[in-house]
A and B are shown apart, each in its own frame.
Chain A
């Protein structure tokens, strides 16, 4: 079973707009990570947020974490056509041996 579930499952936006996707999880975590996957390729690590952090930024990416609601959000600002990809959240729990547990992903299409 998957620990994280992303919402929405798919998102279509115009270039220049912001894209927001959410991730909910079920049990306490040590950290939560976001990955990007271009079609047919491997996953690229975007950002890691620890359980004692509430917000992190990396370039055009902003991630928030609300441990009380067991949820996280990923915001991509000023989207580009090259941002078209699937985005996955993955949780890490030390009790589960530090393995990554992925959600089902959000498929983002940025139209030029």
Chain B
């Protein structure tokens, strides 16, 4: 039973570019959340998707957007990349009130 899978594992971009990160939830899970984790810090909640809609959003600018597909997979898009967007981006999935399961993340570096 595959857990949460994220792609790519690493990505290097330059300032001003746009990036798309992908997440496949654990089998049976229908809710996907995205987190940003800067080096040495705890994860920060970006947003959560359920039934293909954004249900909650953290304190992130509109440059951060997402999508959930009918198969529950999700994408995180970031436009106009800034140096400060360099971080580990984590996807987590769950079903109902069960604890979230995390993927291993995408390491995004902005040059």
- Residues on A lying within 8 angstroms of B by beta carbon are 2, 4, 33, 35, 40-45, 48, 88, 90, 97-105
Contacts and interface: CB of A to CB of B under 8 A. Distances in A.
Q: Is the interface of B mostly helix, strand, loop or mixed?
A: strand
Interface string B36-72: 0000011111001000000110100000000000000
B43 to A, nearest CB: 5
A103 B4 contact: no
B36 to A, nearest CB: 11
A44 B97 CA distance: 16
21 contacts: A40-B88, A40-B104, A40-B107, A41-B104, A42-B90, A42-B103, A43-B90, A43-B102, A45-B100, A48-B99, A88-B42, A98-B56, A99-B48, A99-B56, A100-B33, A100-B45, A100-B92, A100-B100, A102-B42, A102-B43, A105-B41
A6 B42 CA distance: 10
A4 B43 CA distance: 11
- Chain B interface residue bracket vs A: 20 to 34
Nearest to B88: A40
Q: 6 smallest A-B Cβ distances: which pairs?
A: A102-B42, A42-B102, A97-B56, A43-B102, A45-B99, A42-B104
Contacts of A42: 4, 90, 102-105
A106 to B, nearest CB: 10
B26 to A, nearest CB: 12
Contacts of B107: 40
